[in-house]
């Protein structure tokens, strides 16, 4: 039996959060065209203070660290509401990659790591980044990494080349995935190591331009080099060789939250499409919505968003009930399905808006540029489809090797 009811407390929380998103963040979007994240960050930090004062800050963070301590499914619903603005998650301190880093520090961090890294992250005083993908190796095969962390007494010496380290610009520390045990079985070779970005061995090479936007601060992606980067062994998160296990912990719930954030974006694009279809006249008294082709956009989008939300809700329920391992088919399915629903709904909404849709007068173009990557990060579509199909085929007696 699946549970779709939302408790009165959560309903109230969602409406308070939505009110903040509409009052504080939607007007801000009107003023940011052509400005970098760093330029608008002071305004966002002020909004964060008001979010804190309203008792809504860090919804996913356990209450012992000052958050709301929301459960997995409740936070998924919050994530949808916050997705209605590109800055929703940042304003509430549940943005990637910090949210994932807070989660693994909470689950695997030592007392010292929690004091030094988790507590200031949860208070929103510092930011962090996650450094796994390498330009020279296929990110789709995360067991094949070049970055090495070699033990030297009570230190690790890290050497490696990373890119797509999101939000490295201005981050206080990186969680680095590095091979510590090259001769161990594939999934026990790498460890996660905390590297303060003021370490002399941390080199910020460049901000990577994405579809014409270089970005800055939290809204950016960096190329980074680790050159003879020495950190104490006590900076390792969890056991040596446990990097993949911890990555799985980080990615499972993270995918549900990403998918719900995409549904928030899709809902906003959908609302905008419907509003425009109802009001933009092709000729006097004939709005766009009188045309069946536009009605088709609306009907298809509604059905696809609802289907995606049901799949996500079911996957979240299954993780809650049976754990991440049992829910891996459902998680693979939502990752590619929801990402593609998002792309299609955004595309239809832009199309309905005509020329306006590609301007920066609405958030649609920015969403289009920055959310194309949804089909690539956290596992490209093809990887999730192949994994899902292989597991299904196994039930039919065909074992296809993951080459
Ligand atoms: C906006 C953005 C933010 C990111 N943030 C971070 C971050 O913070 N930290 C971090 O470490 N990484 C991050 N990444 C990197 C991301 O995780 C990788 O891009 C992703 O894992 C894919 O790896 P790759 O780019 O090396 O593509 P490759 O692995 O080289 O794959 C290229 C393409 O090949 C196809 N393909 C791959 N495998 C298969 C297969 N088995 N069958 C068929 N086709 C296949 C897919 O179409 C894939 O897109 C980010 C990426 C983006 C775009």
Residue nearest to atom 16 of ligand 1 (CA): 377
CA–CA distance, 323 with 126 (Å, rounded to integer):
31
Distance from residue 323's CA to the centre of ligand 1 (Å): 25
Q: Tell me: the pLDDT tens digits for 57-71?
A: 999 999 999 999 998
Q: Which of 366, 377, 387, 400 to probe ligand 1 with, by most ligand atoms within 8 A of CB?
A: 377
Q: CA–CA separation, 161 vs 392, rounded Å? A: 36
Block residue for tokens 């089909």: 375
Q: How far, in Å, is the centroid of ligand 1 from the Cα of 399?
A: 25
- Ligand 1 binding pocket includes 373 (Cβ within 6 Å): yes
d(CA 207, CA 210): 9
**208 Cβ closer than 6 Å to some ligand 1 atom:** no
Compute, in angstroms, the gap from residue 23 CA to the centroid of ligand 1.
36
* Residue in this structure with the two tokens 């962390």, named with its chain if needed: 149
Q: d(Cα 162, Cα 111) in Å, to the nearest integer?
A: 28
Task: Please indicate whether residue 377, judged by its CB atom, sits closer than 6 Å to ligand 1.
Answer: yes
CA of 136 to the centre of ligand 1 (A): 12
d(CA 134, CA 226): 12
Mean pLDDT in the chain? 95
Q: For residue 240, which phi and psi values (nearest 5 degrees)?
A: -65, 135
- Any atom of ligand 1 within 6 Å of the Cβ of 380: yes
The Cα–Cα gap between 254 and 298 comes to 29
Å from CA of 72 to ligand 1 middle: 26
Share of the chain above pLDDT 70, in %: 99
373 Cα nearest atom in ligand 1:
53
Q: Could you tell me which residues are beta bridge partners of residue 215?
A: 220
Residue among 297, 316, 317, 293 at smallest CA distance from 305: 297
pLDDT band at 248 (very low <50, low <70, confident <90, very high): confident
Q: Report the percent of the chain where pLDDT is more than 90.
A: 90
Tokens of residue 300, six digits: 């298809």
Per the CB < 8 A criterion, the answer to whether 95 and 34 are in contact is no
Cα 164 to ligand 1 centre (Å): 9
Whether the CB-CB separation of 206 and 215 falls below 8 Å is answered with: no
Choose which residue among 129, 251, 376 to substitute to test ligand 1 binding: the one with the highest number of ligand atoms within 8 A of its C-beta. Answer: 376
pLDDT of residue 2: 62
Q: Is 163 in the pocket of ligand 1 (CB under 6 A)?
A: no
Listing DSSP states for 216-235 in one string gives: ETTEEEEEEEEEEEEEEGGG
The ligand 1 atom nearest the CA atom of 131: 11
* Distance in Å, CA 111 to ligand 1 centroid: 33
Atom 1 in ligand 1: residue holding the nearest Cα: 373
Nearest residue (by CA) to ligand 1, atom 52, is 377
Is the predicted pLDDT of residue 333 greater than 90, yes or no?
Answer: yes
Q: Which two tokens stand for residue 272?
A: 């905008």
Return the SS3 of 2.
Answer: coil
pLDDT band at 73 (very low <50, low <70, confident <90, very high): confident
Task: Decide: 315 and 254 in contact? Cβ < 8 Å.
Answer: no
Verify whether ligand 1 is closer than 6 Å to residue 132 (CB atom). yes
Predicted pLDDT at 125: 98
Is the pLDDT confidence value at 401 over 90?
Answer: no
Q: Which of 134, 383, 384 to mutate to test the pocket of ligand 1 (most atoms within 8 A of CB)?
A: 383
- B/e letters for 335-349, b = 16+ CB within 10 Å, e = fewer, are bbbbbbbbbebbbbb
- Residue 207: name the closest of 38, 373, 397, 353 by CA: 38
What residues are paired with 195 via a beta bridge?
174
Q: Determine the 3-state secondary structure of 328 from DSSP.
A: helix
Instruction: Report how far apart, in Å, the C-alpha atoms of 25 and of each of 14, 34, 120 are.
Output: 15, 17, 24
Q: How far apart are CA 265 and CA 369, in angstroms?
A: 13
SS3 196: strand
∠ CA 31-37-41, nearest 5°, is 85
Specify the 3-state DSSP secondary structure of 159: strand
User: 187-243, pLDDT tens digit by residue?
Assistant: 999 999 999 999 999 999 999 999 999 999 999 999 999 999 999 999 999 999 999
- Give the list of residues 6+ apart from residue 141 with CB closer than 8 angstroms, or none: none
- Please tell me the pTM assigned to this model: 0.96
Tens digits of residue pLDDT in 128-185: 999 999 999 999 999 999 999 999 999 999 999 999 999 999 999 999 999 999 999 9
Ligand 1 mutation pick, 96, 134, 140, max ligand atoms within 8 A of CB: 140
Residue 96 CA, closest ligand 1 atom number:
8
Helix/strand/coil percentages in the chain, nearest 5: 55, 15, 30
Is residue 253 within 8 A of residue 178, CB to CB? The reply is no
Q: Decide if 237 contacts 193 (C-beta within 8 A).
A: yes
* Between residues 275 and 248, the one the model is more confident about: 275
Nearest CA to ligand 1 atom 41: 383
Please tell me the distance from the alpha carbon of residue 224 to that of residue 204, in angstroms, as a whole number.
5
| Strand ranges, E, within 233-287 | 236-237, 281-283, 286-287
CA 6 to ligand 1 center in whole angstroms:
35
Check: CB of residue 62 under 8 Å from CB of residue 69: yes
- Asked if pLDDT for residue 402 goes beyond 80, the answer is no
Reported as half-sphere exposure (CB side, CA atoms, 13 A), residue 315 has a value of 28
Question: Does the Cβ of 382 fall within 6 Å of ligand 1?
Answer: yes
Whose alpha carbon is nearest atom 13 of ligand 1? 164
Pocket lining: 139 vs ligand 1, CB cutoff 6 Å = yes
């Amino acid at each position: 039996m699946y549970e779709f009811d939302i408790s009165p407390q959560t309903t109230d929380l969602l409406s308070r959060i939505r009110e903040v998103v509409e009052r504080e963040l939607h007007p801000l979007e009107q003023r940011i065209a052509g400005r970098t994240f760093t330029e608008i960050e002071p305004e966002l930090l002020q909004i964060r203070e008001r979010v804190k004062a309203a008792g809504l800050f860090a919804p996913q963070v356990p209450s012992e660290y000052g958050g709301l301590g929301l459960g997995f499914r409740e936070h998924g619903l919050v994530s949808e509401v916050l997705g209605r603005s590109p800055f929703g998650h940042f304003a509430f301190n549940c943005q990637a990659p910090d949210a994932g880093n807070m989660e693994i520090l909470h689950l695997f961090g030592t007392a010292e790591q929690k004091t030094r890294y988790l507590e200031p992250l949860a208070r929103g005083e510092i930011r962090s980044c996650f450094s796994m993908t390498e330009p020279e190796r296929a990110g789709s095969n995360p067991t094949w990494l070049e970055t090495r962390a070699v033990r030297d007494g009570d230190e690790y010496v890290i050497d490696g080349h990373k890119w797509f380290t999101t939000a490295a610009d201005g981050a206080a520390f990186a969680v680095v995935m590095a091979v510590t045990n090259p001769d161990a079985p594939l999934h026990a070779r790498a460890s996660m190591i905390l590297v303060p970005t003021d370490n002399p061995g941390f080199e910020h090479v460049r901000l990577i331009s994405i579809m014409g936007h270089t970005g800055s601060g939290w809204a950016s992606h960096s190329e980074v080099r680790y050159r003879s980067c020495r950190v104490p062994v006590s900076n390792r998160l969890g056991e040596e060789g446990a990097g993949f296990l911890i990555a799985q912990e980080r990615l499972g719930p993270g995918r549900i939250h990403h998918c719900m954030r995409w549904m928030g974006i899709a809902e906003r694009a959908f609302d905008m499409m419907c509003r425009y279809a109802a009001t933009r006249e092709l000729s006097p008294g004939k709005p766009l919505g009188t045309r069946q082709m536009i009605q088709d956009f609306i009907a298809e989008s509604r059905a696809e968003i609802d289907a995606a939300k049901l799949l996500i809700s079911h996957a979240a329920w299954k993780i809650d009930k049976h754990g991440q391992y049992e829910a891996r088919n459902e998680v693979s399915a939502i990752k590619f399905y929801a990402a593609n629903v998002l792309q299609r709904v955004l595309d239809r909404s832009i199309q309905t808006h005509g020329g306006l849709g590609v301007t920066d007068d609405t958030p649609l173009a920015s969403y289009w540029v920055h959310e194309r990557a949804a089909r690539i990060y956290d596992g490209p579509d093809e990887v999730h489809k192949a994994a899902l199909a292989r597991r299904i085929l196994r039930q039919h007696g065909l074992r296809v090797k993951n080459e």
